[in-house]
A and B are shown apart, each in its own frame.
Chain A
Amino acid sequence: MADADPPSAKDHLSVDEIRHALGELTDAQMARIKKSALIFSRHPTSPDDLIQTAFERALAGTRKCPRDLPIDRFFAGVIRSISDGEANRIENTQEMVPVEEDASPESAGVTPRDPRPDTETRMVANAQYKGFQNAILDLFDDDEEAQLIILGIISELEGQDLRKETGMTQTEFNSKRRKIRRRVEKAMKDGKIQ
């Protein structure tokens, strides 16, 4: 009986429906998913890592797609969330790690392998974000308007405030935004701007 269905069954796609949708992805949907992964990937996490993890979570039923959301939009959101979560995990790793986590006699004197990223990995990750800002500005050495948009974002402007700050019309802004996106995509390799 429909009334007895749990809300998630009515409001979200089932795992079988996700599987079916993945088998029926259009070229445009694939392209959008790929491009989303490209712009959210950060070394050492590759775009394919992000895509596989997003698909895996949907197929395992741990991320649920609302019925009214296009499937490519859903996966772009999951990819964004995974990227942010992975960065959070790296940034919030504590400096000091326990040497002994297991008090059993067998483990005496043995340092368990810590699954968390080491200091060097965290430093590299932090530097990457700062390096990303510099690298993306360098990419647009020939385009002051694009740099203005990027600096506006770094100044925490968004939406119409960002557009107004640049002095561009909506059409000009959209065109410049596309130029930024395409150039960044071309420059991205292995989660870094080359």
Chain B
Amino acid sequence: MNTGDKTNDRKYFMALADIMLEDIFESTDDEIVREVADGDEGLDALRTRMNNNVAIAEERAGEERRRVAQQKLEARKARATNIVSIDPASARRKVEEALRRDDLSMAARNETSSELSDVEILQKYRDLVDLGVIKPDDGGQG
């Protein structure tokens, strides 16, 4: 069953590995390289293997970066679709209607007075759409 805890056996395994890891990093460069050079694999094979690992990782990381970028782009498109048709005057009206309707802080209400610029009121509109206070599809009747 799901315990969420590290089992003792794995804890011991990690502790044993940690002891060996300490030794790997306390060995000098010469010592650690000589071990590989004298081992079954050899230095040339190690370099080839490591280069292959980098190449495979680079390809996978590229796919991951593309996936994340695509997600961001789609999120931005969705957001742009929600706000594309609003003009500052309508946005100001919808923001003020929403704030009269909802139990928001006094500070938030005060900010929506006429001293906010068109850019600021559009930003406020977007924020309230993102928060779900305003639903653009129903004309702002959130």
Q: Are A180 and B33 in contact (CB under 8 A)?
A: no
User: Is A67's beta carbon under 8 Å from chain B?
Assistant: no
Q: Is B26 among interface residues, defined by CB-CB distance under 8 A?
A: yes
**Chain B residues with Cβ under 8 A from A55's Cβ?**
53-54, 57-58, 61
Residue A194 CB within 8 A of the other chain = no
A10 to chain B, nearest CB (A): 22
How far is B60's CA from A62's CA once the two chains are assembled, in angstroms? 13
Which of B44-52, B70-78, B83-91 lines the interface with chain A?
B44-52
Instruction: Identify the closest chain A residue to B36 (Cβ).
Output: A31
- Complex Cα–Cα for A130 and B17 (A): 14
- Shortest B50–chain A CB gap in Å is 5
Determine if A56 and B22 form an interchain contact, defined as CB atoms under 8 angstroms apart: no
B57: chain A residues at CB < 8 Å are 51-56, 59
Known: A26-B29, A52-B53, A56-B57. A177 touches B19 (CB 8 A): yes
Q: Are B17 and A80 in contact (CB under 8 A)?
A: yes
Question: Per a CB cutoff under 8 Å, which of A42, A54, A59, A177 touches B23?
Answer: A177
Q: State which of A25, A57, A59, A92 has its C-beta within 8 Å of the C-beta of B50.
A: A25
The winner among B1, B11, B18, B50 for most chain A CB atoms within 10 A is: B50
Interchain CB contact (< 8 A) of A34 among B10, B18, B36, B54: B36
Q: Give the number of A-B contacts (CB < 8 Å).
A: 149
A124 to B56, CA, bound (A): 28
Q: B64, A60: Cβ atoms under 8 Å? A: yes
**Contact assessment for A130 and B19 in the assembled complex, using a CB-CB cutoff below 8 Å:** no
Q: How far is the CA of A28 from the CA of B3 in the complex (A)?
A: 40
B21 beta carbon closer than 8 Å to chain A: yes
Distance between Cα atoms of A182 and B38 in the complex (Å) = 12
Q: Which of A36, A59, A130, A174 contacts B24 (CB 8 A)?
A: A36
On chain B, the residues within 8 Å of A40 by CB distance are: 17, 21
User: Which B residues are CB-close (under 8 A) to A32?
Assistant: 24-25, 32
Binding site for A on B (CB under 8 A): 1-4, 6-7, 9-27, 29-30, 32-33, 35-36, 43, 46-47, 49-50, 53-54, 56-58, 60-62, 64-65, 68
Please list the residues of chain A having a beta carbon within 8 angstroms of any beta carbon in chain B. Answer: 19, 22-23, 25-28, 30-36, 39-40, 42, 48, 51-62, 72-73, 76, 80, 83-84, 87-88, 91-95, 126, 129-130, 132-133, 136, 149-150, 153-154, 156, 158, 174, 177-178, 180-182, 184-185
- Of the A-B pairs whose beta carbons lie under 8 Å apart in the complex, a sample of 8, sorted by A's number, is A31-B46, A40-B17, A84-B10, A87-B6, A88-B6, A129-B9, A129-B10, A156-B15
Closest 8 CB pairs of A and B: A55-B57, A129-B9, A59-B61, A28-B29, A181-B20, A60-B61, A56-B57, A60-B64
